[in-house]
Structure 1
Amino acid sequence: MNLEALYKEAGAYLEGHFLLSSGNHSQFYLQSAKVLEDPKLAGKLAEALAQQIHDAGLEIDTVCSPALGGVLAGYELARALHVRFIFTERVNGAMQLRRGFDVAPNERILVCEDIITTGGSALEAAACVEALGAKVLGFAALANRGFCKRAGSKLPASPTCKLPDDAPFFALGDFTFDIYSPEQCPLCQDGSSAIKPGSRGN
């Protein structure tokens, strides 16, 4: 599967000057919502991701995603795996499980995002359900931004990856874009202004 081609065909591989949720800048941005707006394509991607998880022998009870970006990807993955789906959301900056969702002691959870960069939001969702007694067995995303090591990839993890070493991370491909601090951003130095895409901005 050529993930880059699929993102470009869907208009989800954006080029410009972007302010990321980390505060850093990049010339490229992956807008997974544009990929997931096509139910057939979303289902195809989820089936491919589910196959990786099956091949690894990982048995889970529930997929959990952090809202908002991970909800569509997580729901489609749960459907492909034939398991339950729940999501966490931020309340006053803290990730919480709400809306009547609950987890059982030792319930086997896979945390799913649309894109994982350093894995910060995924790790917050994991901590939320583990605090209620569940057990997180792994992580998944449609795409890996290249900071964490996914199963089957030769790309090493960077020091900024927050995902634990003892849980597998599944994704359909790696995207390795240059990221700059605002002070060192060549796009800023050329006089352009960064825009903030995604669920926390535009």
Structure 2
Amino acid sequence: MDTQAVLNEFRAAGALLEGHFVLSSGLRSPVFLQKAKVFADAKRTATLCAALADMVRDHLDQKPDIIVSPAVGGIVPGYEMGRQMDLPAIYVEREDGAFRLRRGFELHEGQKVLVVEDIVTTGLSSRECIDSLKETGADVIAEACLIDRSGGKADVGVPLIALATVEFPAYPADDLPPELAAIPATKPGSRGLQA
């Protein structure tokens, strides 16, 4: 599955939005990927994650022991990747601003972890998640995501395997192009939701 096919799946789900959006990173963009609309369709999610699982198998020389995803956005693709790869899938949640394993989830020293994300923009959330997992003694061998919207520029601290790599424009709030500044901003993402 190539980048255009992935974007077509998002379009078909009504999940590729245009306007003025505040991203989870705080940056502003004329494009927002509303992945929740994609994940509402189990068949579409399975198709995308099957293609990503194949890509992960092709790129890694070692098999992960477990999948870990950051909540909220990574839970559904993490679960589906676990199903596709026959691996357990757990997630981390923010607690006092930092990612933590909760709900009885555990990792063990040396356990090989594949982090699964939905969308990567700057890589900041991914790095925070990966750092929290390394504190447990686990070995984070890679991260996989459906879309890397940084155009391959995001550094997550481990190899990043993206089903689609695109570069949608993103701007600091105080440096918007006039056409974007003329449109009211909306914040459709999940960052900031209270647990």
With normalisation by structure 2, the TM-score equals 0.91
State the partner residue of 1:152.
none
State the partner residue of 2:87.
83
1:1-202 superposed matches below 5 A = 1=1, 2-56=5-59, 57-147=61-151, 149=152, 157=153, 161-164=154-157, 167-185=158-176, 186-187=178-179, 189-190=181-182, 192-200=183-191
| Letter paired with 1:65 | S
Deviations 1:141-174 (A, max 9, x none): 0111125x3xxxxxxx2xxx3312xx32111112
CA distance in 1, matches of 2:11, 2:171: 23
SS at match of 1:95: strand
| CA deviation after TM superposition for structure 1 residue 118, in Å | 1.6
| Letter paired with 2:190 | S
* Contact preservation (8 Å) 2:6, 2:48: no
Give 5+ residue unaligned stretches, structure 1. Answer: 150-156
SS at match of 1:90: strand
Q: In structure 2, do the counterparts of structure 1 residues 146 and 189 end up closer, same or farther at CA, with 3 Å as the change threshold? A: closer
CA distance in 2, matches of 1:76, 1:11: 21
* Contact preservation (8 Å) 1:18, 1:28: yes
Give 5+ residue unaligned stretches, structure 2. Answer: none
Q: RMSD of the alignment, in Å? A: 1.5
| CA deviation after TM superposition for structure 1 residue 188, in Å | 5.1
CA distance in 1, matches of 2:109, 2:181: 52
* Contact preservation (8 Å) 1:65, 1:122: no
What is the percentage of aligned positions where both structures have the same residue? Answer: 40
CA distance in 1, matches of 2:99, 2:31: 28
| CA deviation after TM superposition for structure 1 residue 13, in Å | 0.1
| CA deviation after TM superposition for structure 1 residue 201, in Å | 6.1
Q: In structure 2, do the counterparts of structure 1 residues 194 and 170 end up closer, same or farther at CA, with 3 Å as the change threshold? A: same
Q: In structure 2, do the counterparts of structure 1 residues 5 and 100 end up closer, same or farther at CA, with 3 Å as the change threshold? A: same
| Letter paired with 1:54 | R
Deviations 1:4-27 (A, max 9, x none): 111101000001110112222111
| Greater mean deviation of Cα atoms: 51-60 or 8-17 | 51-60
* Contact preservation (8 Å) 1:182, 1:188: no
| Letter paired with 1:40 | K
